[in-house]
Structure 1
Amino acid sequence: MRIESLRLRNFKGFRDASLADMPRLCVVVGANGTGKSTLFGVFGFLKDCLLFNVRQALVQRGGFREVLTRGVSPAEGIEIEIKFRLEIAGVQRLVTYLLHLGEERGRPVVLHEVLRYKRGRYGSPFHFLDFRRGVGYAITNEEDFNRPDEELDREEQRVDPDTLAISGLGQFERFKAANAFRRLIENWHVSDFHISAARGTKDAIGMEDHLSVTGDNLQRVARNIYENHPQVFEHIVQRMRERVPGVTEVTPKPTEDGRLLLQFRDGAFVDPFIDRYVSDGTIKMFAYLVLLHDPQPHPLLCVEEPENQLYPTLLWELAEEFRDYALRGGQVMVSTHSPDFLNALRLDEVFWLVKHGGYTRVLRARDDEQIAAYMAAGDQLGYLWKQGLFAGVDPA
């Protein structure tokens, strides 16, 4: 399953903007304040809407009026549309999820929630889930393509007006697309990695299946892979040897008081170093490798500014790691300010954001004839960005 497009209307600085035909490795650049963090925040917002409800997700972000684009009437509401590819009945179908949020009597509501796709090659997309203000229906036999539209079985449902219908219905396998989209949202990962949170000894008991958003459970996740997936862990360590000079071994080590720490061995020394005394870049590269080689990988990773704390020559290697993850079936979105990271990217992988009239526009490198011509002649995107060829990206 792959997200193919994302459209935002009235979501903070995005008055009406789209990312179309998204590649599996999608990189976004732009000056400070153009909306890179907001763009990634959409995924965290949808996850909070699913796991809690719309009201709580909005409260965490200052309320409906703070998320609504400034200068826009509340009557217009906020719209998020995601299109993704999903195999249904042996055919890869383009599924659209549309969420329209509004405010009534001072409380946020789901004005409209739709999940639709075409049943055949021709005709309009069919609504397999359609809810307005908590009242609607879902199709229970959507994979029965031998029956005409009017004979499909509809299950009428009611949910709280500020609750996503896919939150409940998506738990059931009989709602194929809703179930798949719910699992996608539940399992995508928005990284907000903090070196300080990842260092030091940690309690040995706690979440260990996946790296947390901040990376504060790095030791537990590393131990889990070390003990239960030794081949994967050895592969991670081998990548560390190739990318970080001197590192020859990494070992999750229990302490006498029942906690965990990481030991990094430098081949030039007999005794290993504990993670408190190794460089920020070493910790961060190891954390990214743990994330990217998770035995149960996330369908979508969102990573902001991975270049921080990493030596410039490592950024090409990191871009290759992200691309390798994408080639294995995942999808990666990255924001960056680094020309060195951009130099490792391909023409169709890069979008950039610019502010126009106070609102954010999305542009794409491959659609710019001048950038495409320079790339065809052997240039690199990072150098082109530094030369000012990404129109409007320079805050000056």
Structure 2
Amino acid sequence: MKIESIKIKNYKVLRDVEIKEIPSMAVFLGVNGSGKSTLFDVFGFLNDALMTNIRAALAKRGGFNEVISRGEKGDIEFEIKFRPSAEEPLITYELVVSLDEKKNPIIKKEVLRFRRGQVGSPWKVLDFAYGEGTAAVGELNTYDDVKNASRKEQKLDSPDILAIKGLGQFKEFVAVSQLRRLIEDWYVSDFQIEDARIPRDAGYSEQLSRTGDNLALVAKYLYENYYSVFENILETMKERIPGITNVEAQETTDGRIVLRFQDGNFKDPFISRYMSDGTIKMFTYLILLNDPSHHALLCVEEPENQLYPQLLSELAEEFRLYSVNEGQVFISTHSPDFLDAVELDELYCLVKNNGFTEIKKASNNDLIKSLFESGDLLGDLWRQGLLEKVI
């Protein structure tokens, strides 16, 4: 699945932003406090709302009044356009969150539209408000399918529950299920190096957690169940980290799992707590990028933290390969070294203006485009302060 555009209104510092023509790998550049984390939190918010409800997702962030943009009295709005695959039609999802007369969070509008191409009138697959609405039934692959589809009236248990949660679990609502899977499959990383070092009780984990605290368990799972995948990770580690010749997840006598890294210069391996932050983080990213159950969207915040500058271009290459072969990748950064490996069409710039974030695509700026095509690296343009002038 691939997201093509996003509109956000009244979500914290994102008072009114639209991101268009999103490529498979998109890099969001800005100084600290420019809104990068808030942009990624949009995906976390929608995932929380799907897993629980709108009320709980808002409460996790301090409530409606803390989430809505400062000084705004309206609603919180999202619009996401995506394709399940390159051959399938464009789907638009709209969500409007508001308060009822008792100041309780409710879903004022939730609409799913189907459209072939970028033009033409869309057809509603799902249309809900205040917990009630209709949804089209069956496979929807053509205009006629949607136009002639039967629609079912539905009522949710509560007006703060997403219709895609209530209906997406049923096979008859195919298009709704596709969006549900997309949101369920979003992965927003918040890797904590110290958490990844800590030995864990022997257990079972197939996928890396958001913080990476189950890294050793996932490494053990891949070694035992997908040895060829683990071997590929190891070969990449050997290429990217000089000296590393082996990595293993070993169970200790007290029933805990620890990672041990073999440096070819030494006879005995090192346990993870003695390895550098950069080595641990690179291994964590490689575990994530080689997950046999690929994520539709990876959101990676500031991958430059704890990594050697010379590794950043190689990590960017790994992210790009994933975006081409497996799923979309969004990356936030403020590192010139990482930017040196980024293509112009992949870059979006974030700047605060009067307290709110603006987002522009770098390739739409004639000066930046001319300098890049003349051979200037984006990292150098960032160091010179030119990319801040994109907005």
- The bucket for the TM-score relative to the shorter chain is over 0.9
Q: Kindly state the Cα deviation for residue 188 of structure 1 after the two structures are TM-superposed.
A: 1.2
Instruction: Report what 1:94 is aligned to.
Output: 90
Partners in 1 of 2:144 and 2:226 — Cα distance?
A: 46
Unpaired runs of 5+ residues, structure 2, are none
User: 334-343 or 135-144: which moved more?
Assistant: 135-144
Deviations 1:183-214 (A, max 9, x none): 111111100000111003111114x1110000
Asked if 1:285 corresponds to 2:282, the answer is yes
Asked if 1:18 corresponds to 2:12, the answer is no
DSSP-derived class of the 1:391 partner: helix
Q: Kindly state the Cα deviation for residue 120 of structure 1 after the two structures are TM-superposed.
A: 8.7
RMSD, aligned CA: 1.7
**Identical amino acids, percent of aligned pairs:** 52
If the length of structure 2 is used for normalisation, what is the TM-score? 0.96
Match of 1:186 among 162, 181, 184: 184
Q: Kindly state the Cα deviation for residue 177 of structure 1 after the two structures are TM-superposed.
A: 1.6
User: 317-326 or 28-37: which moved more?
Assistant: 28-37
Does the CA-based 8 Å contact 1:119-1:126 persist in structure 2?
Answer: no
Deviations 1:28-53 (A, max 9, x none): 01122111000000000000000000
Partners in 2 of 1:355 and 1:149 — Cα distance?
A: 42
Asked if 1:36 corresponds to 2:36, the answer is yes
Letter in 1 for 2:219: A
Deviations 1:56-78 (A, max 9, x none): 000000000111011111xx200
Spell out the pairing of 1:322-361 with structure 2 (5 A cutoff).
Answer: 322-361=319-358
Letter in 2 for 1:77: D
Does the CA-based 8 Å contact 1:17-1:362 persist in structure 2?
Answer: yes
Asked if 1:246 corresponds to 2:243, the answer is yes
Letter in 1 for 2:7: R
Spell out the pairing of 1:1-396 with structure 2 (5 A cutoff).
Answer: 1-73=1-73, 76-87=74-85, 91-104=87-100, 105-118=102-115, 123-143=120-140, 145=142, 147=144, 151-159=148-156, 160-206=158-204, 208-392=205-389
Letter in 1 for 2:370: A
Partners in 1 of 2:49 and 2:167 — Cα distance?
A: 14
Describe the shift of the 1:61–1:366 C-alpha distance in structure 2 as closer, same or farther (beyond 3 A).
same
Letter in 1 for 2:72: V
If the length of structure 1 is used for normalisation, what is the TM-score? 0.95
Deviations 1:76-127 (A, max 9, x none): 200011100125xx94211000000000111000000000012699741011
Partners in 1 of 2:129 and 2:250 — Cα distance?
A: 53
Q: Kindly state the Cα deviation for residue 383 of structure 1 after the two structures are TM-superposed.
A: 0.4
DSSP-derived class of the 2:388 partner: coil
Q: Kindly state the Cα deviation for residue 391 of structure 1 after the two structures are TM-superposed.
A: 3.0
Describe the shift of the 1:150–1:275 C-alpha distance in structure 2 as closer, same or farther (beyond 3 A).
closer
Q: Kindly state the Cα deviation for residue 151 of structure 1 after the two structures are TM-superposed.
A: 4.1
Partners in 2 of 1:156 and 1:301 — Cα distance?
A: 35
DSSP-derived class of the 2:387 partner: coil
Does the CA-based 8 Å contact 1:31-1:393 persist in structure 2?
Answer: no
User: 197-206 or 163-172: which moved more?
Assistant: 197-206
Partners in 2 of 1:134 and 1:28 — Cα distance?
A: 35
Deviations 1:266-323 (A, max 9, x none): 1111111111111111100000000001111111100101101111000000000000
Deviations 1:193-246 (A, max 9, x none): 00111003111114x111000000000100010011111101101111111111
Letter in 1 for 2:184: E
Partners in 2 of 1:31 and 1:355 — Cα distance?
A: 9
Q: Kindly state the Cα deviation for residue 329 of structure 1 after the two structures are TM-superposed.
A: 2.8
Partners in 2 of 1:63 and 1:129 — Cα distance?
A: 27
Partners in 1 of 2:155 and 2:285 — Cα distance?
A: 42
Describe the shift of the 1:273–1:150 C-alpha distance in structure 2 as closer, same or farther (beyond 3 A).
closer
Partners in 1 of 2:35 and 2:28 — Cα distance?
A: 10
Deviations 1:308-364 (A, max 9, x none): 111100000000000010011311101011000000000000001111222211111
DSSP-derived class of the 1:92 partner: coil
Q: Kindly state the Cα deviation for residue 174 of structure 1 after the two structures are TM-superposed.
A: 2.1
Letter in 2 for 1:58: L
Partners in 1 of 2:3 and 2:19 — Cα distance?
A: 10
User: 137-146 or 277-286: which moved more?
Assistant: 137-146
Does the CA-based 8 Å contact 1:100-1:113 persist in structure 2?
Answer: yes
Letter in 1 for 2:24: R
Letter in 2 for 1:44: G
Partners in 1 of 2:116 and 2:366 — Cα distance?
A: 37
DSSP-derived class of the 2:84 partner: strand
Describe the shift of the 1:277–1:145 C-alpha distance in structure 2 as closer, same or farther (beyond 3 A).
closer
Partners in 2 of 1:258 and 1:367 — Cα distance?
A: 56
Partners in 1 of 2:146 and 2:186 — Cα distance?
A: 32
Deviations 1:116-171 (A, max 9, x none): 01269974101100000001010003527485766421111111100000002111
